[in-house]
């Protein structure tokens, strides 16, 4: 029996991806079962889903603790060691990233790594950062466990109309554009936690990356949600155009836009979700939203 664990965030289609995958296995003549695990049920929160498949009926309904394959739909989570916990020796990871270096060096039992720019492809084909279809295509190519045509047929059970057409395109692009590489066994493990270097295009430091569930942090004995990890685009300020009016801070729903010593307003990337309201409301059009490339995502 094969076991697959899928990591994502609420709104990325993690649970539906597992259901489509299980349906494809059944259409290919195998037995399969899928089921989700929710934490705090909200858009952007970490979500996991599990798939088991084989030639015998699947009766086990527990979570998958030792997967053969890990699939990560979220770019930020791809750098979190928790996603690879329990991966079997010689296992495979299929991640939403253009950079294989994002996989933590502590993941030493990984043999095959497949990478795909699922966020970019999904934005182009679907118009939304819903990465499940693209990653299913990458899964089909990387594992050869299901046929692309079978996945296309399976996805028709879940989507209709124009959204089905768009997701089919994302699925096919994931299949054709995934990069697969065998991991070197001599990767050097360094468990020191460091901050990634901020990209020069950004006007604020990136949030601190934790090896644990990094959406949570204790601040003065209160638990706060670091919603900045839900973001895939970030606001960039053009100081030449900015009037320092503070309009962005008034409209920011989370109060993330804070005044700096130089009089300009900067986003707190620990909590900025990348909603783009600041850019939309800026009277000088001094803020633009760009795809985030910090930390090798």
Q: Is residue 79 part of a domain?
A: yes
d(CA 137, CA 128): 17
Task: In whole angstroms, give the CA distance from residue 158 to residue 217.
Answer: 37
23 contacts: CB under 8 Å, gap ≥ 6: 32, 154, 157
Is 177 in the same domain as 282? Answer: no
CATH at 247: 3.30.70.20
Domain count across the chain: 2
User: The domain that contains 154 carries what CATH number?
Assistant: 3.40.920.10
Positive or negative, the CA dihedral 34, 211, 115, 181 is negative
pLDDT the model gives residue 211: 37
The predicted pLDDT at position 205 comes to 36
Q: Which of 130, 156, 182 is the last residue of a domain?
A: 182
Tell me the average confidence (pLDDT) per consecutive run of 10 residues in the chain, 297 residues long: 90 89 93 78 76 90 89 86 89 89 83 91 90 94 93 92 94 94 62 34 36 46 65 86 91 88 88 87 90 54
* C-alpha–C-alpha distance, residues 64 and 68, integer Å: 9
Q: What DSSP assignment string belongs to 2-64?
A: EEEEEEEETTS-HHHHHHHHHHHHHHTT-EEEEEEEESS-STTSEEEEEEEEESS-----S--
DSSP-derived secondary structure letter, 89: T
Whether residue 276 sits in one domain with residue 133: no
Inter-helix orientation angle 161-177/132-143, to 10°: 40
Range of the domain at 96: 2-182
Q: What is the CA radius of gyration of the chain?
A: 20
Q: Which pLDDT belongs to residue 224? A: 62
Which string of b and e fits 174-201 if b means at least 16 CB within 10 Å? bbebbeeeebeeeeeeeeeeeebeeeee
pTM of the model: 0.74
Predicted confidence at residue 12, as pLDDT, reads 85
pLDDT of residue 152: 94
């Amino acid at each position: 029996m094969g076991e697959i664990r899928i990591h994502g965030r609420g709104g990325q289609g993690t649970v539906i991806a597992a259901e489509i995958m299980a349906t494809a296995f059944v259409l290919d003549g195998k037995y399969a079962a899928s089921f989700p695990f929710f934490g705090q049920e909200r858009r952007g929160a970490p979500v996991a889903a599990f798939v088991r498949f084989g030639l015998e009926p699947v009766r086990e309904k527990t979570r998958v603790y030792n997967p053969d394959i890990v699939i990560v739909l979220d770019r930020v989570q791809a750098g979190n060691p928790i996603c690879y916990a329990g991966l079997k020796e010689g296992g495979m990871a299929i991640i939403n990233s253009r950079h294989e270096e994002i996989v933590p060096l502590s993941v030493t039992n990984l043999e095959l790594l497949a990478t795909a720019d699922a966020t970019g492809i999904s934005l182009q084909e679907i118009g939304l950062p819903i990465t499940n279809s693209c990653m299913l295509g990458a899964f089909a190519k990387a594992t050869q466990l299901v046929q692309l045509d079978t996945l296309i047929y399976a996805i028709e059970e879940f989507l209709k109309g124009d959204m089905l057409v768009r997701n089919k395109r994302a699925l096919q692009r994931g299949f054709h554009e995934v990069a697969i590489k065998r991991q070197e066994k001599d990767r050097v493990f360094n468990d020191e936690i460091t901050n990634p270097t901020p990209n020069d295009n950004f006007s604020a430091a990136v949030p601190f990356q934790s090896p644990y569930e990094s959406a949570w942090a204790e601040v003065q004995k209160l638990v706060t949600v670091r919603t900045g990890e839900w973001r895939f685009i970030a606001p960039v300020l053009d100081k030449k155009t900015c009037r320092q009016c503070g309009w962005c801070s008034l409209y920011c729903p989370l109060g993330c836009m804070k005044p700096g010593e130089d009089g300009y307003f900067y986003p707190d990337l620990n909590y900025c979700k990348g909603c783009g309201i600041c850019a939309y409301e800026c009277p000088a059009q001094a803020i633009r939203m760009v795809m985030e490339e910090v930390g090798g995502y």
